[in-house]
Amino acid sequence: MKKVLLAFTTLFSISSLADVSNLLITELAVTPTNGEFVEIYNNGATPVDLSDVYLTDATFAGSSTYYYQIVLGAGGGGGFADFHARFPDGASIAAGEYQTIALNGSDDFFSVYSQNPTYEIFEDAGSPDSIADMREAVSGSIHDLESGLSGGEVLILYSWDGANDLVQDLDYVLWGDKNEAVDKSGVSIDSVTDADADTSTYASDTSIANQAVIATSQHPSGKSWQRADLSEGVETQSAGNGINGADETSEDLNNTFFEGDPTPNAVGTPPPPTAPLIIINEVDAVGSADFIEIYDGGVGGTSLMDVTVIMYDGATDSIEQIIDLTGNNTDSNGYYLVDGITLNDNVSAVALYFSNFSNFTISDPVTDTNLIDALVYDSGQNDDAGLLTLLNQTGGQIDENADSNASSVANARCPNGFGAALDTSSYDQVLPTPGAKNDECPVLPYYANVDVSSPENLRTSLHNIIRVAESFDYSSSETDTWDVLGFADEDPNPNVDLDDMVAENVLAVYKNTSYVNVATGNNDYNREHTWPQSKGFKDDDMGSNNAARTDAHHLMISNSSYNSERGSKYFDNCVSSCTSLATDDYNGVGGTGMSNLTNGSVFEVWDFRKGDIARAMFYMDVRYEGTQIDPDSQPLQMEPDLTLTNNISDITSGGPYMGLLSTLLQWHIDDPVDNIERLRNDTVFFWQENRNPFVDHPEWVACVFENDCSGLDLIFDNGFEQPGF
């Protein structure tokens, strides 16, 4: 009798281990390489058998390598520091238990965290130790990782019974970029281990364009990403490829994970909630279809938890309406639309607060406590001093009827998303675009203070305008020059550029090759300083983030070998002993007869890009005149005084000189400004908030650099300049 009872008890325990649907990836330590680990958690009420559970980062669309190809005896791992691992046979995880997988071995893990991991990807000791090793998913799919989860990656926890055609996703985490993202929608496949030749087809995943990432770059060294939401946020729970039909690729990762100090084998403590980075992007208060548009800068999927919209009545300066946005998120393009509302046509205000709606009551007075952004508007009435307390000193009350057309326009940030929170200076009256980009914006009067009375006055006035700029780190876990260049040098081919909010491919300046955009570059392409760093702003002299080094008006994506071949050579026409660096025939330009030429001294750019480079050089000469301290230099010092010249001795001396000026002036004439260059200027302006004036006004080149301003009066008198510039 006891033997029968024991057998029943054993069967019951095995049965309780069968459900893997409650497994989650709960922590990722990616940087630095030592101490890298992945943590999993059992969110269920019973133990889970891990024998048929796998963990992998070995998937890459570029080589058609995917983890679900394990059913074919294939899939990635064992190369490019990738792994495709299976948990040890008989391993299990108790209810509510956290377990860790050390990616560089248990010795490395212990040296960093002073505790042992649950598993190690590979045996790092001279002989087997007490830490269980993960198994290879397929032969050769695990090796000494060395660099582990570096760069943009996807990490997938999944289950496979060893026979079924389809694997079942358990959790899916994406960060850095989407180059290794997976979309299995409609893929048909037949396992080589089942008894039939029939295929099975995957259900729909979330499209890669709409998949969320934890962050666009790696977390700071010594930190980790940790799961704050064990319910997986707004993840779709049906009609997907996960167990019980969940769509693991739909999780809003940027909301369900937070960054903190590593807590291996234990629960993490989320930091206090912070206000989301959102602004009021557009408001239509006069007409038949009132709305408020909120924008997160294009991030997409931003949680609006505890965000409250308040509408104030201008007559009483008190709360008129309260709208709770909790439970909503911005869409994949970064917009959230509050519509079906009625706004005061007279004097009123719309305000965003990071505070639960229960903290507000109708008729409460104006408050700036927990205020995120506000717009005070009218349709021709006088300013309301009581409501203006919601705003900063810049900007003011916005008149929707400024063009006597209030019923047909909306107040919108121009260009789209431009301007700081609580600052209304960027609003203009344009045709409404609810839930979409503000495309009808006039260009801002950026050059209103330009003085064209003499070459000296033009140079000075332009310098004073363009020296006011935002600067980004050269390389950083936050927004850096890689992010800016991803959009500035985005491949404009409509067959590639499918989403305005995503930089899918970048186009190399010299080779004219289109590359899949990688958040931190790759072996194929890197960042070219068209004005060489050695000629005025070397990082070992000025610091790695000095303004000239990181300025995207001259920093461009380049094929790595072409960048190396160019080196720090000055620009001039190559006439002897020239090596040809061919361009690709791509998107209607390049190819035969369109090559870059170089020898030991000079670099001649191919014809289609000659003017682009010349105008970048003109910009650098005027922008950097040694007139202000560079706040990003280390130690603090003055910005360089960059100078274009025809004196080759000066150029080769190592000083802040470039050229040849005469050649660049000719290149400027031979290759006029085109739409690609205009778009690049607009894009860099969006990030840096300054422009290249010689792209907007190519006629200024002759005045500044050749002392010939004879054509300016005629052009300005007839309004031929670009509107607003």
Q: How confident is the model at residue 444 (pLDDT cuts 50, 70, 90)?
A: low
For the residues 671-676, what does the mean pLDDT come to?
94
Query: How far, in Å, CA of 326 to CA of 352, rounded?
Result: 12
Which tens digit of pLDDT belongs to each residue from 638-651?
899 999 999 999 99
Question: Is the confidence at residue 14, as pLDDT, over 50?
Answer: no
pLDDT confidence of residue 8: 31
Q: What is the 3-state secondary structure (H, E, C) of 522-554?
A: CCCEEEEECCCCCCCCCHHHHCCCCHHHHCCCC
Query: How far, in Å, CA of 462 to CA of 617, rounded?
Result: 15
Residue in 286, 386, 296, 393 with CA at minimum distance from that of residue 337: 296
Helix, strand, or coil (residue 350): strand
Residue in 605, 521, 526, 587 with CA at minimum distance from that of residue 560: 526
Residue in 51, 122, 130 with CA at minimum distance from that of residue 87: 51
Helix, strand, or coil (residue 471): coil
Query: How far, in Å, CA of 603 to CA of 596, rounded?
Result: 7
Q: Is the dihedral of CA 530, 536, 537, 540 positive or negative?
A: positive
pLDDT confidence of residue 82: 84
Rounded to a whole number of angstroms, the distance between the first and last alpha carbons of the chain is 93
What lies within 8 Å, CB to CB, of 12 at 6+ separation is: none
Cβ atoms of 641 and 655 closer than 8 Å: no
pLDDT confidence of residue 720: 34
> Residue 585 is encoded by which pair of tokens?
């025939």
Question: Is the confidence at residue 387, as pLDDT, over 50?
Answer: yes
pLDDT confidence of residue 113: 96
Helix, strand, or coil (residue 371): strand
| 35-39, 503-507, 540-544, 716-720: segment of lowest average pLDDT | 716-720
What global pTM score does this model have? 0.48
For the residues 314-339, what does the mean pLDDT come to?
94
Question: Is the confidence at residue 4, as pLDDT, over 60?
Answer: no
Cβ atoms of 120 and 170 closer than 8 Å: no
pLDDT confidence of residue 652: 92
What ranges in 267-317 are assigned the alpha helix state H? none
Cβ atoms of 205 and 185 closer than 8 Å: yes
Residue in 267, 361, 379, 260 with CA at minimum distance from that of residue 319: 361
Which tens digit of pLDDT belongs to each residue from 85-129?
999 999 999 999 999 999 988 999 999 999 999 999 888 877 788
Q: Mean pLDDT score of the chain, rounded to an integer?
A: 89
Calculate ∠ Cα 663-665-571, nearest 5°.
Answer: 35
Query: How far, in Å, CA of 166 to CA of 417, rounded?
Result: 43
Q: What proportion of the chain, given as a percentage, has pLDDT over 90?
A: 67
Q: How confident is the model at residue 500 (pLDDT cuts 50, 70, 90)?
A: confident
Query: How far, in Å, CA of 455 to CA of 702, rounded?
Result: 9
If one counts every other C-beta atom within 10 angstroms of the C-beta of residue 632, the result is 20
pLDDT confidence of residue 725: 54
How many helices (H) and strands (E) the chain has is answered by: 16, 38
Which tens digit of pLDDT belongs to each residue from 218-227?
788 889 999 9
pLDDT confidence of residue 716: 38
| Domains identified in the chain and CATH numbers | 19-260 (2.60.40.1260), 279-430 (no CATH), 455-717 (no CATH)
Cβ atoms of 602 and 570 closer than 8 Å: yes
Q: How confident is the model at residue 395 (pLDDT cuts 50, 70, 90)?
A: confident
Q: What proportion of the chain, given as a percentage, has pLDDT over 70?
A: 94
Q: How confident is the model at residue 2 (pLDDT cuts 50, 70, 90)?
A: very low
pLDDT confidence of residue 397: 95
Question: Is the confidence at residue 78, as pLDDT, over 80?
Answer: no
For the residues 118-141, what does the mean pLDDT come to?
89
pLDDT confidence of residue 18: 53
For the residues 527-553, what does the mean pLDDT come to?
94
Which tens digit of pLDDT belongs to each residue from 469-480?
889 999 998 899
Query: How far, in Å, CA of 102 to CA of 71, rounded?
Result: 26
Which tens digit of pLDDT belongs to each residue from 559-602?
999 999 999 999 999 999 999 999 999 988 999 999 999 999 99
pLDDT confidence of residue 77: 78
